[in-house]
Amino acid sequence: MVGVELARILAMTSWAGPEALPGVIGLDHIGLAVADLAAAVTLHTEVLGLVARHRETNTDQGVEEVMLSPVGAGPGSQVQLVAALDQHSPIHRFLARHGPGLHHLAYAVHDVRNASDVLLRRGLRLLYDAPRAGTRGSLINFVHPKDTGGVLIELVESAAQTQGQG
């Protein structure tokens, strides 16, 4: 089924040139859904040696999250631990269906609105009609996993890029 969806999308866009690309500039982070945020932070910091860089509650997304990375690591080396705030959270539903583990792959983009528009024109489905607030003031959107081989893809425009556009 995934091959059929991908073939459909590629057939619709085989004519597309570079202007039809979403402007991915790198890997932003890997998101892990966790049932117990404190235990996951302990595992990643005390056992694996990562450093907690940022902690945030995002009520719009229904999550509490912690961003971690190795000491001295550059961009794209982050792990985001995401826990549900309540039973209405998408993370709560994900954990109920799949259990803890890989939730999403996040790509950094120059302009999340443009990236979203490009992907919509190419036939991919997005979770939101317009970008939403993400971690540390970023703007985000998600590409439906049915269009990406089963992987939920997040598009992230950093707060620095967002502020530079105003």
128-162 residue pLDDT tens: 999 999 999 999 999 999 999 999 999 999 987 65
Name the burial class of residue 163, with classes exposed (0-12), middle (13-18) and buried (19+) by CB atoms within 10 angstroms of its CB.
exposed
Is 65 an active-site residue?
yes
The owner of tokens 């985001």 is 80
Q: What is the DSSP letter of 26?
A: E
Cα distance between residue 26 and residue 57, in whole Å: 25
Task: Identify the active-site residue in 29, 44, 92, 103.
Answer: 29
Cα end-to-end span (Å), the chain:
42
Task: Identify the active-site residue in 44, 92, 103, 104.
Answer: 104
72-130 residue pLDDT tens: 988 788 999 999 999 999 999 999 999 999 999 999 999 999 999 999 998 999 999 99
Is 161 an active-site residue?
no
**pLDDT of amino acid 46:** 97
Task: Identify the active-site residue in 5, 61, 64, 154.
Answer: 154
pLDDT over threshold 60, residue 30:
yes
pLDDT over threshold 60, residue 16:
no
Is 46 an active-site residue?
no
**pLDDT of amino acid 166:** 45
This prediction's pTM: 0.85
Task: Identify the active-site residue in 44, 61, 64, 65.
Answer: 65
User: Average model confidence (pLDDT) for the chain?
Assistant: 89
Task: Identify the active-site residue in 5, 80, 92, 157.
Answer: 80
Class of domain 22-165: alpha beta
Q: What percent of the chain has pLDDT over 90?
A: 75
- Domain residue limits, the chain: 22-165
